[in-house]
Every structure is written in C-alpha cells, then in structure tokens.
Amino acid sequence: VENDDKGQQTACHECDLLITLPHLEVGSKAVCPRCGYILTKRYKNSLNRILAFSVTSIVFLVVSSLFPFLSFSSKGQDRTVTLLQSIDVLVHEGQLVLAIMILVAIIVIPAIFLFGLLYILAPLKHSGTVLPYAKNVLRFILALTPWSMVEIFLIGMMVSLVKVSSLADVAFGLSFWAYILFTLFMTLVLLHVDKIQLWQWMEKHVHS
C-alpha cells in the first residue's frame, strides 16, 4: 500500500474511538461516528493557502515590531512605545518574568510555528521534497500550537487599553494595525492546519 490516505487509522481526539479514515475529497470532512468530533477537514487548495497565509503573517509580524505601536499622552507628556515596550507598559514596570512570558507567547512561539510550517511545506510544494528533520519539526510545532496565545494577547491588550485610556490619550501606531493583521492571518493559518493532513502530505513524499 503506497499511494493515498486510504486506510489510515487514527484515534478520536475526544472519545478515543479507533477509526479507519476513508479517502477524503476536497471540501469534505471526517467525523467521529460515536461523538461527532471533526477528525480532519479537506479545504480546497489548503497547501497553497497555508503557505500564503504563513508568509503574510510573518511579514505583518516583522512590520509590527519595527514601528511605533502605541502613543500615550497625559498632562502634556508624550510617550511612544514599540510592541516590545508596550508589553512592559501594559504588564507594569518591573514584572520582567511576566513580560518575557507574554513575549514568548505572542511573538516567539508564533514565529517558530510559522517558520517551521514553511520549512516543511515550501519544499513539499516546490519540488515534492522533505527536508532533513522535517518530521521532528512537524512534531515540535504541533506540540507548540496550544501555547500560541495571539488572540488572548489581543483581548488582554484591549482590556488594558480601556483602563489606560481613562488616564491618558492613547493613539495607535502603524505596528498596532500590523499586529491586528498578523493576528488575522495567523488565525487563518491555524484554521487551515490539519494535523492528519500535514502528516499525510509528508508521508506521501517520504515514500515516493
């Protein structure tokens, strides 16, 4: 048996039922017969979409760290901060450990995830090749996904801004909007990333 995804076994993420996956057409999904959990989905053009959304996310993430993020003005005093400085401002002065944790969750982990995806998928798309350690990279970035807290940061930041805005006038800089767009595209990447399909793409090319 060498060709497609026929006959692959997987355990349901929710109820542990062992299921033999059928071959899936684009636009279809496999649902657990016992609990209804969606096991895997086939989006149209998903390899191209993941690549395009990942590159776009990286561009916006880079832009968001280069320009002013927020400006505060209070009692005639102005202060402009970058994304990195804003973490510290919003966390409170002096809370270094918390600031580093947020930094890791909102920039470092998403960046590793996106570059890892490109490392695996760009060669697959371009020439059908699997780069060295691609399987380890895939295992690693899939383990990272629960630790990406991009949306949580955005919500937390909004809450903090509401509080800060009662003390000072807040203006959004270019980097702020870039980070919003990054969040949007990162969400699209995560929406299209399907664990089972990623492994299938890789297996298919390793054996052929």
**Chain contacts with Zn ion (rule: CB under 5 A):** 12, 14-15, 17, 32, 34-35, 37
Provide the minimum distance between the beta carbon of 147 and Zn ion in the complex, in angstroms, as a whole number. Answer: 25
Query: CB-wise, 35 or 96, nearer to Zn ion?
Result: 35
DSSP 142-202: HHHGGG--HHHHHHHHHHHHHHHTTTSEEEE-HHHHHHHHHHHHHHHHHHH--HHHHHHHH
Contact residues for 205 (Cβ-Cβ < 8 A; gap 6+): 124, 128, 129, 130
d(CA 206, CA 133): 12
30 DSSP β-pair partners: 40
Q: How far is the CB of 2 from Zn ion (least distance, A)?
A: 29
**Given the complex with Zn ion, which of 19 and 184 has the nearer CB atom?**
19
Q: How far is the CB of 32 from Zn ion (least distance, A)?
A: 3
Question: What's the rounded Cα separation, in Å, for the pair 148 and 165?
Answer: 27
Nearer to Zn ion, 6 or 34 (CB): 34
- Beta-bridged to residue 126, according to DSSP, are none
Minimum CB distance to Zn ion, residue 50 (Å): 26
Nearer to Zn ion, 35 or 152 (CB): 35
- DSSP character at residue 107: I
Residue among 15 and 152 whose Cβ is closer to Zn ion:
15
